[in-house]
Structure formats: structure tokens, C-alpha cells
Structure 1
């Protein structure tokens, strides 16, 4: 047990040692106040205790970022799953829209900043729209791929038993494409999180982790900026390892087991 914990902690210890050495070297050679892990940890503890960050507590920045993230992701999930199911069911819709989706996939998330500002102005709507657009594409393409990979015999049997319309979509196609859907949601959520932080830096939301980082940079409070970066990484790791990774593993294992038994 102890060896397992040590083995998992070893990469982080190596990273902290490397960070400490790099910070000391930069401070000595460039005379720049590059924060050490100790300084960042002390600043993070103060922020968690309620110290203000860009005129707002850390909890406010985290909460506002999470709200924007989940709102944009929710819009993307509803639209992406709906499109994937409908386009997998309708060849005409798929042929008409799939090339556009492939083009959208090539556009970096940050490239949507001027479009979002033109359409929605500075503020929440622009940030949420960027998250939604960036997360939509991988969700839609993965759901579509999952529907297309369904066994045709499975679909014919469902139709012979009277499945059609909404029943075929939500009782046959969606469960059949569930592993691919979860993978798409996982990718879309990660894409949305990365775009959120960058959008908060540029769009000027007034709160949020990205906004706090850029404000700390202007005031040369690099320890606070690094603390926010650490929180961003921590939230991403928690969502990945506590939600999507177990869900994806259980779903895929169950479907492969069902397929083997049949």
C-alpha cells in the first residue's frame, strides 16, 4: 500500500523539485520574482482562507467559472447529442451537415473570440457561447460515430418490434451509442474548460479563474496567478478521475461484456 502511494506521488515530487530548482535559477539569473512551490502553497492557503483575489474571494471566481463552464457544456451536450442521433438516423441530414462539422472541428477555440464578441458583446453570453461551440463538435461527432457503428441487425430487430420515431432514437440509438457518447462528453468538457479560462482572460467577465490570473499578472502577483493555475488543474483532474474515467470504464466494460455474452 505504501509503495503504491509512493509510486503515485513520485511524479508530483519530481515536478515540485524541478519547479523549485527552476524558480531559484530564474530568480538568480533573470532577477524575476518567479514563485517557488512554497510561496504558491502559502498564497493558496491564504486564498482558501478568504483572502481577496482581484477584489473578490477565491470561491466567487471558482463558482462563476464553474457556472459558465457547465452552462456552455450543457448547451453543447443537448445540441451535440441531438444532432448526433438525428444525423445518424437521417442520411440526408448527415450528408448536408457533416462537411460543415468537419470544418468547425479545425477551428481553434480561441479563434471564436471575435465572433463571440461581435454576436454577444463583452460579458457572460460571449464566454458561454465559446464554450458551447468548442464542446459541441466532439460530442456531435462521437455520438454520430457511435450510432453508425451499431450493428444493422440490432436496428432491424428494433424496427421489426415496432420501434420508430422517438422510441428508436432514445430507446435504441442513444443506448447503443452510449460508450461513444461518454467519450465525446469527456472530450467536449475538457475543450470547454480550456476555452473558458482563455475567454475569461480576454472577454473581461469581471470574475473567474482566467480573469483572476490575468489581473494577478498585471499586478505582478505571480504567486496568486500560479495558485489559480493549480486550481484549474485540480478541477480538471477531479472531473476526469472522479466522474468520466470511472463512468467510461464501467460503461465500456458493460457493453463489451454484453456483446461477448450475446
Structure 2
């Protein structure tokens, strides 16, 4: 049981699934924010996905990928995708169009426009989406490890403790889950969010 309680396997799955969600969410948000017909055709999809509880994806994940690692990554990615996509789309839509036109007039290509204009301008909204998506992915990860039979991880250790009546191990795993979630979402990302808002939001002293 001690080996199963080690959070390394859970952290690896979390980061892998969340990386997929961030890549797809940022890509979708930027494209939909820049191409109007794509936004009109698909904007409701991530909003509807946001309403689906993470545990509701368990039957879908098992049907598509069976029992194991891939199903867990799918659940994390699809649950974290919606908040990232919605926040990035909102951030891109709220960018001053004059800022984009000025960059284009100065000869900015697609890569420069993406990395030097769109992403920095949408960064406060992006980080908010990352915070929500990160917490959502972490909760879904623990539930997925309990159900889809990964064989390792904090969620798997909790469900195993039920059968062995090992309450100490169960509470130790719960403490690890809370500690990792708090450190990542409420300490690390919140500080980045505050510094980003201070950096990109004009103050009355600078006006």
C-alpha cells in the first residue's frame, strides 16, 4: 500500500492529461476567437461540456479506451478542456482590435501575432482558465484512478484501503490530494495570476 500511495504516478497522469487539455483549449480558443464562423458553429460545445460532471465521462472513456491509462488521460483532458477553451476564447474576443491591426501593419506574421500579441493580451483570462482546469483535472484524476483500474496512484490507494479497512492509508492519501491541490492551484497559479493582472492591467497612477 505504501508504494501505491506515492503521488508520482498520479502527478504524471495529471500533467499529461492537463497538457493535452491546455494544447487543445488554447488552440481552439485562439482559432474560434479569430474566425467568426467557427465561433458561431462551435462556441456552445465547450459551454455544454462544462456542465457535464467529470464522473459522467467514465462510461464513455471505458467504451472508447477500455480499462487503463488511456481512459484516465481522456477523462482528465476532456474535463479540463472546457474551462481553458472558454476562458481563452473570451480573452481573445476582448483584445482591442486596434492592437491586432497595429501588429499586422508592422509586419507581424502569424507566429509573432500569436506569441507576442494574442497570448500576452489574453494571459489573465488564460491563467484563470488554467486554474479552473487544473483543479477540475485533479479531481477527475482521483475519481478515474478509483474506477478505471490504473493499478497505481492516490485514487487507487483510497479504493484499495476500503477493502482492507486501512483507514490510516486512506486519510494519508486524502491529505496528499489536498496538499498537492492547494499548492498547485491556490499558491502557485494564484500568485502567477496576481502578477499577470498587475503587469497587464493599467493602474490609475499610470494613467
Does residue 73 of structure 1 match 2:38?
Answer: no
1:220 aligns with 2:165: yes
Alignment root-mean-square deviation, CA: 1.6
- Mapping for residues 13-28 of structure 1, pairs under 5 Å: none
Shift of residue 219, structure 1, vs aligned partner: 1.1
Q: Which residue is equivalent to 1:44? A: none
CA contact (8 A) 2:58 2:144 kept: yes
Q: Distance in 1 between matches of 2:121 and 2:42?
A: 22
Aligned residues: 207
Query: SS of the residue aligned with 1:261?
Result: coil
Q: Which moved more, 1:217-226 or 1:67-76?
A: 217-226
Which residue number in structure 2 is paired with residue 173 of structure 1? 118
The answer to whether the Cα contact below 8 Å between 2:142 and 2:154 also exists between their aligned partners in 1 is yes
In the superposition, the TM-score normalised over structure 2's length comes to 0.94
The unaligned stretches of length 5 or more in structure 1 are 1-51
Q: Does 1:204 align with 2:149?
A: yes
TM-score of the superposition, structure 1-length normalised? 0.75
* Partners of 1:113 and 1:240 in 2: CA distance: 24
* Aligned partner of 2:30 among 67, 85, 89: 85
* Equivalent residue, structure 2, for 1:147: 92
* Equivalence for 1:132: 77
Q: Which has the larger radius of gyration?
A: 1
Runs of 5+ unmatched residues, structure 2: none
**1:9-31 residue CA offsets vs partner (Å, 9 max, x unmatched):** xxxxxxxxxxxxxxxxxxxxxxx
**CA spacing shift, 1:239–1:200, aligned 2, 3 Å:** same
Runs ≥4 residues deviating over 4 A: none
**Distance apart, 1:57 and its partner CA:** 5.1
Q: 1:224: Cα distance to partner?
A: 1.3
Q: Structure 1 residues 224 and 208, CA, compared in 2 at 3 Å: closer, same or farther?
A: same
Retained in 1: the 8 A contact 2:55–2:140?
yes
Question: What is the deviation of 1:75?
Answer: 0.4
* 2:152 match: secondary structure: coil
